Structure 1
Amino acid sequence: MKKRTLGKTGLEVSLIGFGGIPIQRCNQWDVDEIIENLVAEGVNFIDTARAYTNSEEMLGEALKEWGRENFYLATKTPKITYDDVMADVQRSLSELQTTFIDLYQFHNCSTMEAYEKIMAPTGGYAALVACKEKGLIKHIGITSHSYEVLDHALNEEKFETIQFPYNIVENRGAPLFEKAKAKNVGVIVMKPLAGGAFIHSNYALRWVAENPNISTLIPGMDSVKQVLANTSVGKNFTPLDDEERHILEADANALGKTFCRRCGYCAPCPQGIDIPMQFIVEGYYRRYNLEEWALDRYNSFASNASDCIECGECEPKCPYDLPIRDMLKKTRELFDPLILHKK
């Protein structure tokens, strides 16, 4: 596995890291098997978060068997105040069953107002500095979907790492990463596969990895199959050739800009709709030519897009500002006539 330096942390991290969002859908047995294969394939960087429900807990259990010492652990808090952040660090240490965390990050700091509260004397940043002095954490980072926030954070030079979404569709992060590199700040890329939206995942990962300013990519993985596919990129990395680049660009053009990245931040839906899953099956129908499978899957949901009452609770939670109600309406308009016809 190829390694790159995570900025001023000095950590030599695997080019392909592990994103811990999807394992919320797994059982402990699955997670144990995933971690076993991460060790075997040379992955040494794990990223999770307090907000990922039981992700920290399951990782902590798996690492008891497969070795905490094999990984640099990164996690995140969505909290802002000193006391709340301090409490989250203690919870993370307990859930991950470790005496220290290599990188603790502020999770999705989405506005300058939130950033200023974090950096205030009574804010969360002071708490992480105190935790670092006590040896509870080793390094401090920040994650965001806002270019403005991370650009400002780089100017202030308080953080050792930044984390930002980046792929062939969402590619505006390149100047930010160049700036981070110049300041010796580590760059962690989330959403390199746009939440699994790309048909050619190998090409998508390699496109991101071509950027030398990036330290590590953290695609979410919830199966051994995904681990083996993704880690092959880090073990045998080569730049895209012209044909591969053309194919990936066609993928990107087919996706457009308005698509679900499956982060799950929109949950829970008051109507019980698994919102990302609606768009997944729609994608299988429209792009993967799996019409019958997608229709049957959609029809099997206890609640689907047809149950949306357009309350709008989901939309303010979406970090990509997607028009979720309109998107669900299009999903409904695709599948409902097909279901009636099938009956």
Structure 2
Amino acid sequence: MDKVILGKTGIEVNKNGFGALPIQRISKKDAVYLLQKAFYNGINYFDTARAYSDSEEKMGAAFEYTRDKIIISTKTAAQTAEDMWKDLDESLTKLKTDYIDIYQFHNPSFCPKPGDESGLYDAAMEAKKQGKIRHIGITNHRIAVVKEAIESGLYETMQFPFSYLAADADLEIVEACREADMGFIAMKGLAGGLIHNSACAYAYMAQPQFAHVAPIWGVQRESELDEFLSYQVCPPQLDGELLAEIEKDKEQLSGDFCRGCGYCMPCPAGIEINNCARMSLMLRRAPQEGWLSEEWQEKMKLIKNCLHCGQCMSKCPYGLNTPELLAKNYEDYKTFLK
């Protein structure tokens, strides 16, 4: 079973991390079962966030009696020190623990630093001094913020979107973290659901140049967990067949496309941007029936109500022209209804 050292933290994790965002969509009983099955099959790293509704609570229920055998990271989207302390106390309570291994600032629009107006980093340092957190990390989608965080030397881990659809700029970030001895946690290894062959994604991450990369896979169903557990026993090889599929995906998904991260939300016109702006891709890469339901037809119609207010564009970490993408996707969508 491959292991990854998370940079200067010295933490060793299984190269098969559990991303706990999706478990907010299933029952507590099912979530506890999945989490415990992952643990008893060798997964020792679990990532969640205060923003993931009841994900922390479910994790706490699953690991109350095995806490010392796992690594937990969670996140705060707080903008002030006061709110960070509230988030931290809430996370500790929900997770049923008295410490968090890696406490991460959740996709901030700036790089928190000691002495800045937010007070976030100073608060995290105090929490570390008190033993409530052990390591300080940051997550982000913005290249500029990511680079600043790496260069600052303040952070022990970086969580950043990474898959075989990565652009050259993304690959530079991965290498910069290695050079800085900064733990690199790869979120969205399946590109927000656009990559369908998990064996391709797993084999790509397993390459020697990514030995320092710790992927966290979003898991909601037992079948998904079983796929990743099977790769621990029989790792997929990056052979001709898998390479061909990766190249095909790169060709289809090159250029500007919505990753579905949801940071553009909420939309004042009620548009579910993070799905509507990539509908064309989903129709071609997933069973169409679900996306062509009456419910989704109504959701797509809301695109006509776009206010062109620019809020979504200003919040998009990838700099996409979201209104334009929405319009294109809606026109394409209507062709599937004929």
Amino acid in structure 1 at the alignment position of 2:221: S
- CA pair 325-305 structure 1, distance change in 2 beyond 3 A: farther
- CA pair 302-241 structure 1, distance change in 2 beyond 3 A: closer
Amino acid in structure 1 at the alignment position of 2:108: C
Aligned to 2:251: 253
TM-score by length of 1: 0.87
Matched position secondary structure for 1:326: helix
Amino acid in structure 2 at the alignment position of 1:183: A
Matched position secondary structure for 1:307: helix
Aligned to 2:15: 15
Aligned to 2:107: 108
Q: Distance in 1 between matches of 2:172 and 2:242?
A: 24
Q: Distance in 1 between matches of 2:119 and 2:301?
A: 43
Aligned to 2:227: 229
Offset at 1:85?
A: 1.8
Whether 1:139 aligns to 2:126 is no
Offset at 1:116?
A: 5.1
Q: Distance in 1 between matches of 2:54 and 2:297?
A: 24
Q: Distance in 2 between matches of 1:237 and 1:221?
A: 19
Q: Distance in 2 between matches of 1:295 and 1:54?
A: 27
Matched position secondary structure for 1:98: coil
Summarize deviations over 1:278-315 as a string: whole Å, max 9, x none. 46764343245x44x14543x23384111221135444
CA contact (8 A) 2:199 2:236 kept: no
Q: Distance in 2 between matches of 1:13 and 1:227?
A: 17
Aligned to 1:205: 202
Q: Paired residue for 1:263, among 243, 261, 264? A: 261
- CA pair 148-265 structure 1, distance change in 2 beyond 3 A: closer
CA contact (8 A) 1:177 1:213 kept: no
Aligned to 1:148: 144
Matched position secondary structure for 1:115: coil
Amino acid in structure 2 at the alignment position of 1:12: E
CA contact (8 A) 1:44 1:72 kept: yes
Matched position secondary structure for 2:185: strand
Q: How many residues align?
A: 333
Aligned to 2:190: 193
CA contact (8 A) 1:77 1:88 kept: yes
Matched position secondary structure for 2:141: coil
Q: Distance in 2 between matches of 1:330 and 1:121?
A: 41
Q: Distance in 1 between matches of 2:144 and 2:273?
A: 28
CA contact (8 A) 1:140 1:161 kept: yes
Matched position secondary structure for 1:83: helix
Amino acid in structure 2 at the alignment position of 1:191: K
Whether 1:159 aligns to 2:155 is yes
Offset at 1:189?
A: 0.8
Offset at 1:83?
A: 2.1
Q: Paired residue for 1:178, among 171, 175, 190? A: 175
Residue range with higher mean Cα deviation, 128-137 or 82-91: 82-91
Matched position secondary structure for 1:179: helix
The answer for unaligned runs of 5 or more in structure 1 is none
Q: Distance in 1 between matches of 2:69 and 2:298?
A: 42
Q: Distance in 1 between matches of 2:157 and 2:239?
A: 31
CA contact (8 A) 1:85 1:124 kept: yes
Aligned to 1:305: 300
Matched position secondary structure for 1:7: coil
Offset at 1:257?
A: 3.0
Aligned to 2:332: 334
The answer for unaligned runs of 5 or more in structure 2 is none
Aligned to 1:120: 116
- CA pair 310-213 structure 1, distance change in 2 beyond 3 A: same
Summarize deviations over 1:259-290 as a string: whole Å, max 9, x none. 332333333344544444446764343245x4
Offset at 1:16?
A: 1.2
Q: Distance in 1 between matches of 2:28 and 2:69?
A: 19
Amino acid in structure 1 at the alignment position of 2:11: L
CA contact (8 A) 2:103 2:137 kept: yes
Summarize deviations over 1:188-235 as a string: whole Å, max 9, x none. 111111011013221023212313353310121111111111233344
Aligned to 2:27: 27
Offset at 1:319?
A: 2.6
Matched position secondary structure for 1:219: strand
CA contact (8 A) 1:24 1:52 kept: yes
